[in-house]
Structure formats: structure tokens, C-alpha cells
Chains A and B, each alone.
Chain A
Amino acid sequence: MLKGSLVTLHVMLSVTGEALFALASCAGLMYLIQDSLLKRKKAGSLIRLFPSLNDLDRINNLCLSWGFPLLTLGVLAGSLWARIVWGSHWQWDSKQVWTLLAWFLYAFLLHQRLVMGWRGRKAARWSLMVFTVLVTLLIFGKLFLQTVHNFV
């Protein structure tokens, strides 16, 4: 019973967290396109379809600051469950390493946003970059590495 709900919680939290990161990177991409159009004074008709830069930045920020705690809780739930099932909280499995990397990268990004006042273009670029790196790593991991965490 406890095992079941823990794993559900783990999956729900992690997936929501990662979906929010994906959304953040989408907002980041749209931000970058619009930013470059505005900078190059090419504010044509395409630009009318996008939300304003400020709104995109706000979406990016909101997604990061909700995604990060959700991912953190998801990892904690997973590690509690792993303690019960596999006997230890952490196995240095490839998927776990990937998650740890994601966690650190987003922690860094959030820190820069909150403390260093990263905003706008830089924040958008980084959130897009981090997400791309993570997705690439995930695909590579799936292709070449063994994992005990074989669900996603």
C-alpha cells in the first residue's frame, strides 16, 4: 500500500516537474525568437502571435520556480521508495545521475534568477540550453546505458 502510493507520488511529482521545465524551455524559445526579431527591428506580423517578452519571462520564471520543488519532492519520494524496494536510497544508476544533474542545473538556474537577477534573454537562453542538454543526455542514456530505472 505504502509502496504503491509512494511510487505514484514519485512519478506524478517528477513528471509534473519535468513538464514544467519543458514549458519553461518553450517559453524561453519563444522569448529568444521574439527578442531577436525586436532587436533586428523585424517586428512583423509573426510577432503578433507571441505573448509579450515580459509575459514569456514570467511564464519561464513561474515554471522554473514550481518545477524545481516538484522535482525535488519527486526525487525524495523516489529515494524513500528505493530504500524500501532496493535497500538503499541511491544507486548511482545512470537515470539517477541524470536526475541529479538536472536538479543541479535547475538549482543553478533558479539561483541565478533569484539572487543574481537573471532575467529576459539570458534566463531564456539558459533554460532552453539546460533543457536541450538534458533531453539529449536522456536519449543517449536510453540508447547506450543500462538502467535499473526502466520506466520512462
Chain B
Amino acid sequence: MRLLLIGMNHKTAPLEIRERLQLFCGEEDQPLPELMRLSEIREALYLATCNRVEVLARVTDNGQAVEGLKSFIYRRGNLDIAEMEKCLYVYRDLDAVRHLFRVTSSLDSMVMGEPQILGQMKDAYRMAVDCRTTGVLLNRLSHHAFQVAKRVRTETGIAGNAVSVSYAAVELAKKIFGALKGKSILLIGAGEMSELAARHLLRQGVGSIHIANRTYARAEAMAAEFRGIPVAFERFPEVLPEVDIVIASTGAPGYIMNAEMVAAALRRRRNRLLFLIDIAVPRDIDPAAGEIDNVYLYNIDHLQDVVDANREGRRAEAMKAEEIVAEEVAAFERWFNALEVVPTIVALREKVEGIMKRELERSESWMRNLDEQERNRVEILAGSIVNKILHDPMTGLKEESREKDALPFVAAIRRLFKL
């Protein structure tokens, strides 16, 4: 097949090395033209994300190409060869196909099932198409990889459940409220995680956001950022009846919200559901508040448990996904094997001879009037026309495969003759 994949990911290479490679592969500095200058390379695709760098190429000579690609990466990363060698992996042919399918389906990602990689892969492919570095093989392979990713996504639950605390909070909120459009949140205290959760919620269409903080200036600054409403810290119980989701993350040593406060708010909001998220350590909200009907209180450990359970679930789903990948690799292999020169020639011959035979059978009625000898002559005539027509394309194909790159021709013939 002469397909080669060389690269490194978060499992094989430490951050410093990935970082350096990425730095040298910024968008303005596309490595593809340089790659194509390597004489053994026919097609190339280059993928770089924060967790991986991969070069996929169709090559004419495996051994030389590996060296060429490696030295290309060393030069890019400006790193010590011995150091690099440890981080690099090289896959050939079907192993490369499998690796590509696994990467695109997010089976090889740091957070398994994360959705970004497919988009990054599509961007990489688009870039390669723009640089005209893809051909028959990589085009087909890339599209196949996108299909595999789609199958994995729809047929397994690998991307089904949240695997980050802030996203788990969003999923729970959806389980409680359904659509989050028009719901309002109250952030008490600022912190990275609460801000992240708020951002996720806003993306889900949450209507308004109130922000209370001990330092009012900080609340105002955050409110400006989120287009929210700043609330003086001691007055947050007053907005409690108006909000549906509370995210508490203050550094207070004790509870800042007790069960009575929540019960009172619930009465004023006529028992509308209330989701309390307490991600502060020590906790901000009295656990007794969670006992009240229509109040759902989750603290950081509860959310972490949800995340852990989801991670576990994803691992189980990954097994199914691996099976899909194996199936698809086999499908790709079938397609690829058909692209060899000899089977193509055989298939072409068979098709054309089949046509000739059928046509002769159809002419049976009038050929009956001819005698044996005449009939033979007609058959010989038909046969020699077929052979003359086939002669040039078939020898051409053989020559191409001996000297140059027959793949595009084989693919074209397969397509034109519907083989």
C-alpha cells in the first residue's frame, strides 16, 4: 500500500517536545509544500493539535521515506535526534489506516470521545486539499476516516456523557430543566471552575446571570464580562427566588447558604425547581438544603462521581468503537486491494469479454443462417476488436506501474469502467 504515518501524541511525547513542534508549524508556515519536496512522497496530510503531530503520506519507497519524514520532523522541531526518536511512532499501511481511524474517532485522544479532533482532522484535510497534496488514496482515506468517526459517534456512547466537572453540571441542569433557554443563574464567588460552568451554561442559552462576590468590584468586572448583573454579596438571598441554578464557589470557611434560606426562596418561587451546585471546598451550602423537595444539591464530589462513572462508561463504549474501527479498516483494505494493477487488468478483461459474449449470444438468431466457418470468423473479428481496444490501456497501465505511480490511473480506470 505504501502508506506511512509518522507522528507523536500526548502518550509518547512530553509537552515540551509537542510544544516545540507546534510552534514551528503555525498556520502561516505550512509544512506541506516542504513535505512534498521530499522525493519519495506522493501525497501528504499534516495534522497538528495541542496533543499530537501526525504526518500521513503515500510514498513510493518505505525505507527512504521514513528517513526523509523523520529528518523533516527533527528539522521542524529543532531537537536532538535521540530525544525525538523516543517519541515518534511509525505506522505502515493498514496500521496507519487503523491509527488514522482511531485518531479521527477520538479513540486516541487524551479525553476519549472529545469532539474537537474530528474538526481538526477536517481542517487538516482541507488544508492538504488547498495545497493540492492529496490524491486518490488520501482523499478516499480521509473521507473514510470521517465516516468512521461519524459511525463511532452515532453507534456508540463514547461521546455521550460529560467527562468534565463543569460539563457534568450542565448535563445535570438539562436533566432537571430540559431546555436551559431563559433560565437564570447565580454565581456566588468567582473561580476558574465556576466561570467555566457559567460559560457552558451561557452557551446553552441561559437567559440571565447574577454574580455575587465578596469584593463587589470583582463581581462588577465579571458581570461586565458575562453581561450579567452584579449583586452585593450579603444580598444574594434576595435574588435566590429568581434564579434556577446556583453555582457557589466562595472561599468562606462555613456554610453561606443554609436550608432555611433555600426553603424560603422555594416558597417565594412557588416550588419551581432549584439546582444548587456547590463546588467550594469547604462547602458553601448546607447539605440539609438538598433534602428539600424540588431542590437538587450537588457538591464537587458528587459531580466528580458523575464524571468518573461517565469515564468508566466511555471506556466500555470504546470497546465497541474499536470493533467498528476494525471493520472499517477491513473495508478500506478491500477497496485498496482492488486498486492493484493486476486485478484491475483482470477485471477489465473480464468485463469486456463478458460484453462481447453477451452480444454474440444476442446475435444468435441471425448468425444461425451462417455456416460454421462464417460464424467462427465473426467471433474472431469481435475478439480482435476487443483486444485491440484493450491493448493500449493495458500495456500503458503496466508501464505506469513499473516506472511511476499507477494509482491515479488504476483509480480512473476502475471508475470509468465501473469495475
Listed in ascending order, the chain A residues whose CB lies under 8 Å from chain B are 34, 38-39, 41, 43-45, 47-48, 50-55, 57, 117-122
Contact = CB atoms under 8 A, between A and B. Distances in A.
B206 to A, nearest CB: 14
Interface stretch (B43-51, B215-223, B302-310, B378-386): B302-310
B296 A39 contact: yes
Nearest to A117: B270
B177 A120 contact: no
Interface in B147-181: 157, 160-161, 172, 174-178
A53 B15 CA distance: 44
Contacts of B294: 119-122
A48 B157 CA distance: 11
B293 interface: yes
B178 A54 contact: yes
A122 B271 contact: yes
Contacts of A122: 271, 293-294
A52 B271 contact: no
Given A53-B273, A54-B273, A39 B175 contact: no
B178 A120 contact: no
B191 interface: no
Given A43-B306, A54-B178, A120 B293 contact: yes
Chain B: interface residue count, which band?
A: 20 to 34
B175 A38 contact: yes
A57 B298 CA distance: 21
A43 B175 contact: yes
B263 to A, nearest CB: 14
A34 B175 contact: yes
Given A39-B290, A41-B298, A45-B313, A119 B270 contact: yes
B293 A121 contact: yes
5 contacts: A38-B176, A41-B306, A52-B174, A52-B176, A53-B176
B313 A51 contact: no
A35 to B, nearest CB: 8
Contacts of B140: none
Contacts of A39: 290, 296
Given A43-B172, A45-B161, A120-B271, 15 more contacts: A38-B176, A41-B302, A43-B175, A43-B306, A44-B309, A52-B174, A53-B175, A54-B177, A54-B178, A55-B178, A117-B270, A119-B270, A119-B294, A120-B272, A122-B293
Which 4 pairs, one residue from A and one from B, show the smallest C-beta to C-beta distance?
A117-B270, A52-B178, A120-B294, A119-B271
B273 A120 contact: yes
Scoring B161, B175, B306 by chain A CB atoms within 10 A of each residue's CB, the highest score goes to B175
A120 B244 CA distance: 14
